[in-house]
Amino acid sequence: MTSMGETSHKDIAMAEEDRLASTLTMGCRSCAEANLLGAAAGDSSPFVDHVAVPEAILELYRRAIVIDALATPNTFNVDYPPAAPELSGEQLENVRRSGITAVNHTIFAVDVADHERKIGWMKADIARHPDTLMLIERPSDILAAKAAGKLGIILGFQGMEFLTQDLSLIDHFAASSVRIMQPTYNQESDLGSGCLSAAATPGLKPLGKAVVEGVNRRQAVVDLSHSHPQTALDAVEASSQPVIVSHSGCHALHVHPRNHPDEVLRAVAGSGGVFGIYLMPFLGSEPRSASRDLVTRHLLHALNVCGEDHVGIGSDNSITPLQLDAGYFDALESFVAGRRRDGSASPSEGVQPFMVPGLNSPRRLEIIAWDLSRAGCSDQVIEKILGRNFLRVFDQIWPD
C-alpha cells in the first residue's frame, strides 16, 4: 500500500469519516431531498449544472485521463426516456460536455444473438459520430481518445451465463472488441454465485473457472462487480491477471449485497487490479441518504484498504443526467418489478432513483475530484482515481 506523503490514507479517511458523521458538507442531505421532492412536484430537470469548481480542479480534470468504469452515452438502467435507435443530440452534447475519456459500456442481453445485435448497435452509433465517439480496443486508443477530445467506448459484459458450455464464444466476442467480461450477475448460475445467491456453498464453479481462464487467455479484463464475495475471492485465485470490480461499494460502510467486504477489496488490490466505487443509492442505509459525502466516504475507505493505485470510479449511470419526472418514476417502478420477478433485484431497489443527488450531472467526475481534493487527497491520487489506475490495468492486460 502506498502513501499520500506525510499524512496516511488511514489518517485522512478516519478524520474525514469523523467529520462526515457529524455534518454533511454543503448540505448534501438537503440537496438529495430537494432533488427528489422537486421531481415529485413535477420538476423535470433536478440535475446539477451549476457547481462552481475551483480553477485548479478544472485544470486537473482537463489534463486527466478520466475513465468511468461503468457508464454509457445512451439511456441506462431504467429505460427512460426510452432508448432510441440512435443517440440524441442532447446525449451527444452531454458526452462532449462530460470531459470523460472512456467508459465501460455494458452489452446486457439474454442470448448470443441479442449480444451480437447490441454490439452492432453501439458500433453503428460510433460510426455515425466519429467526431465524438471512438471504439476502444487497445490501451493506446484511450490515449488517442483523450488527445482527440472524443469519448472512448469500451465494450463490456455483465453476466456470461449465455455462454452455456460454449467457451469458444469468449474468443468470438473478444474478436468483436469486447474487452471487459463479468462472469456472474446477481443470481446463482452455472458459472458461480452472484451477490444475491443463497447457495449453501457459494463460489466460483468449474465452468466459471474455465471462463476466467478463457478471459485471461483472450487478454480481456475479468470484472467481479456483481459476484458473491466468495466467487470474487475464487476468481482472484483463478485469474493469472489483475481483476477489477468496475462498480460497487464498501460493505464496511453499508451492509448491502451489492457492496463488497474489505476482504474482496484487499484481494482485488493484491491481484494488481482496481476497485471502482459506484454512484448508486446502495451506498447508504436510509431513503434519500445518498450524497456526495457518501461517495467520498466510500472512496476514502477504499483508499485506506486498497491503496492509491487500486481505486477508481464506475458510476453505473448514463452520462446524461436522469430526468426525474413522473415518467421516470413510473419506468423505475416497472423496471424494478421486472427484476423482482426474475430474481435479479437487489434489496432497496426502487426506493430512490439510480443516481446520487448532487452528482446528477455530465461533469459528475469533476465534482468528485473536487470533493476528494477537499478531503485531503493530492492531485496525483485524484488523477489515479479518475482513470490512471484503470488505464494501468488495461495496459497490462489488453493487446496493443
- What residues contact residue 125 under an 8 Å CB cut-off, 6+ apart? 73, 74, 86, 87, 133
pLDDT in tens, 39-79: 333 333 445 655 789 999 999 999 999 999 999 999 989 98
**Maximum CA pair distance of the chain?**
54
pLDDT in tens, 184-209: 999 999 999 999 999 999 999 999 99
Residue 73, classed as helix, strand or coil, is coil
Q: What is the pLDDT of residue 23?
A: 32
Q: What is the pLDDT of residue 288?
A: 59
Please name every residue paired with 4 in a beta bridge, in sequence order, or none if there are none: 7
In 3D space, the residue among 13, 6, 10, 33 whose CA is nearest the CA of residue 352 turns out to be 33
CB 133 within 8 A of CB 389: no
How far is Cα 28 from Cα 41, in angstroms, rounded to an integer? Answer: 20
- Helix crossing, 229-238 with 262-270: angle to 10°? 10
> Residue 34: is its pLDDT beyond 80?
no
> pLDDT category, 110, cuts 50, 70, 90?
confident
- What residues contact residue 278 under an 8 Å CB cut-off, 6+ apart? 70, 247, 248, 249, 313, 314, 315, 316
> pLDDT category, 81, cuts 50, 70, 90?
confident
Average pLDDT score, the chain: 89
| Domain layout of the chain by residue ranges | 9-397
The x, y and z cell numbers of residue 284, run together, are 447508504
How far is Cα 42 from Cα 72, in angstroms, rounded to an integer? Answer: 26
The x, y and z cell numbers of residue 160, run together, are 456470461
Question: DSSP state, 102?
Answer: E
Write down the architecture of domain 9-397 according to CATH. Alpha-Beta Barrel (3.20)
pLDDT in tens, 144-169: 999 999 999 999 999 999 998 899 99
> Strands 317-318 and 311-313, how do they pair?
unpaired
CB 68 within 8 A of CB 381: no
> Residue 30: is its pLDDT beyond 70?
no
CB 219 within 8 A of CB 397: yes
Residue 382, classed as helix, strand or coil, is helix
